[in-house]
Amino acid sequence: MSTHIAAATGEIAPIVLFPGDPLRAKWIAETFLSDAVLYTETRGMLGFTGTWNGHRVSVQGSGMGQPSMAIYANELFNEYDVQKIVRVGSCGGLTEKVGMRDIIIANGACTDSGINRVRFNGLDYAPVADFALLRAAVEASEEMPLSSSVHVGLLFSSDQFYSTRPELNEAFVKHGALGVEMETSGLYTLAAYYGRQALSICTVSDHLVTGEETTAKEREQTFGDMIEIALRAATAAG
C-alpha cells in the first residue's frame, strides 16, 4: 500500500495504462481486460489489474494535470516497480494538421509548468518518449484498421485548461506542437528519472482552431482504437 494507492505489493502489473479519468480506467478494464480486479479506490482514483492477450496489465486513473499525475506515477514506479506506463488521454487540437478524433503519439512534450524548472534549477529539460514504446505504437497503428489518422509529434502539457495566455500556444505550434493536454511532460520526466519506459497517446477530443468538440459517445470509438494501440505497444515493446 502506498500513500495514494491501496494495492498490496504485486497487485499492480509491470505494464500500466494511465488515463486521466478514473471512470475511463473502469471502462478500459471492463472492455479490454479479462478477469479485471479493482485494487484501489482511494480518493475515487480507480485502479484495476487484469489480463490482455495473456499479459498482466493494470489500468490506473491519474487525475488531471501534472501534480495529480505525478503522485500516481511516482508511486507506481517507486513503490510498485512498474516498468511501462502508457498514458491514454485526450487533447485539444492546436493546428489544422490534426483533425477531430485523430490520434497523437507524443514523441516529446513542451510545457509551461514550473515543475521541471524547479527540478532542473531553471534549466530546460527535454522530456521525450521511450523509443521502443514509440516505435511499437507506430507499428501497431500501421497494422490496425483505424477510422482516424495517427500523427507522431509534440504535445504541449499546459498547467491551465482555461488558459489565460492562449496566444502563447502559437510559438509551440510554430515549433511542431500538435495538441494540448496537461500531463505528458511530467510523465516523460519521471520515467526518465526512474529509468523506466513511458509513452503518451492522446485522441483529439476538442479543437482550438475550429472550435469543434466531440460528444462522449463519439469519443468512445476512437478511444477504443487508442487503447488497442497502447495495449499492443506496451506488450510488444522490449
Instruction: Give the interface with ligand HPA as residue ranges (CB under 6 A).
Output: 90-92, 158, 161, 180-182, 205-206
Q: DSSP characters for 127-185?
A: -B--HHHHHHHHHHHHHS--SS-EEEEEEEE-S-SS-S-GGGHHHHHHTTEEEEESSHH
- CB closest to ligand HPA, residue no: 92
Minimum CB separation of residue 84 from ligand HPA in Å reads: 23
User: What is the helix (H) or strand (E) element at residue 40, kind and residue range?
Assistant: strand 34-40
Active-site residue flag, 206: yes
Pick between residue 75 and residue 102 the one whose CB is nearest to ligand HPA: 102
Q: How far is the CB of 117 from ligand HPA (least distance, A)?
A: 20
The answer to whether 105 touches 199, Cβ cutoff 8 Å, is yes
CB nearer ligand HPA, residue 75 or residue 181: 181
Catalytic residue, candidates 21, 35, 81, 206: 206
- Chain centroid offset of residue 175 CA: 21
Q: Distance (Å, rounded) from C-alpha 132 to C-alpha 128?
A: 12
Nearest residue (CB) to ligand HPA, 105 versus 237: 105
By annotation, the residues acting in catalysis are: 206
